[in-house]
Amino acid sequence: MTDPVTYALVPIGFVRSGLTTRAEAPRQGREGAPEAWLEIDPAYEEALDGLRPGAEVLLLTWLHQGARDVLKVRPRDDPGNPLTGVFATRSPDRPNPVGLHRVTVLDVAAGKGLLVRPLEAVDGTPVVDIKPVLDSAEG
């Protein structure tokens, strides 16, 4: 392997949620995650133009509390599950802890950002990007 190349990611905002620890957060959004605000940096607010309540988006986050030296985990932290490579799991512990969340926009508020649900990310999680969910007809 060659020397690793580094890339810089600049957060476009931060998650504002009632979830404050990893232990409080459900494993997946559909498992009871609450709504949360995505507090968007004013420099990027204009990029929210076109997002409307009811839209589904893919939210990319930087799972800043994830361990970056973990290569294998027991899925769902279940000791009955075999050790599995993190690339075959949704574990937040991984070399590049990028989170992927499919959420629904509930509100778009100038100066505040987006209210979305369900979001299992903890308060303070950096938001890296937001992308619309495309249906199969949109390609």
Whether 127 shows a pLDDT value over 90: the answer reads yes
Tell me whether strands 98-109 and 56-62 are parallel, antiparallel or unpaired.
antiparallel
For the chain, how far is it from start to end, CA to CA, in angstroms? 35
Q: Are 119 and 33 in contact (CB under 8 A)?
A: yes
Question: Looking at this protein, which amino acid is placed at residue 130?
Answer: I
Higher pLDDT, 26 or 8: 8
Task: Give the mean pLDDT of 67-84.
Answer: 89
- Residue 98: per-residue pLDDT: 95
pLDDT band at 19 (very low <50, low <70, confident <90, very high): confident
Q: Tokens for 119?
A: 């979001």
Question: Looking at this protein, which amino acid is placed at residue 84?
Answer: T
Domains by residue range for the chain, with CATH = 13-62+96-132 (2.40.30.70)
Tell me the pLDDT of the chain averaged across its residues.
89
Q: What value, to the nearest 5°, has the Cα angle with vertex 61 and ends 59 and 62?
A: 170
Report DSSP letters for 101-122, one per residue.
EEEEEEEEETTTEEEEE---PP
Q: What pLDDT, in 10s, does the model give residues 91-101? A: 888 999 999 99
Q: What is the pTM of this model?
A: 0.86
Whether 139 shows a pLDDT value over 60: the answer reads no
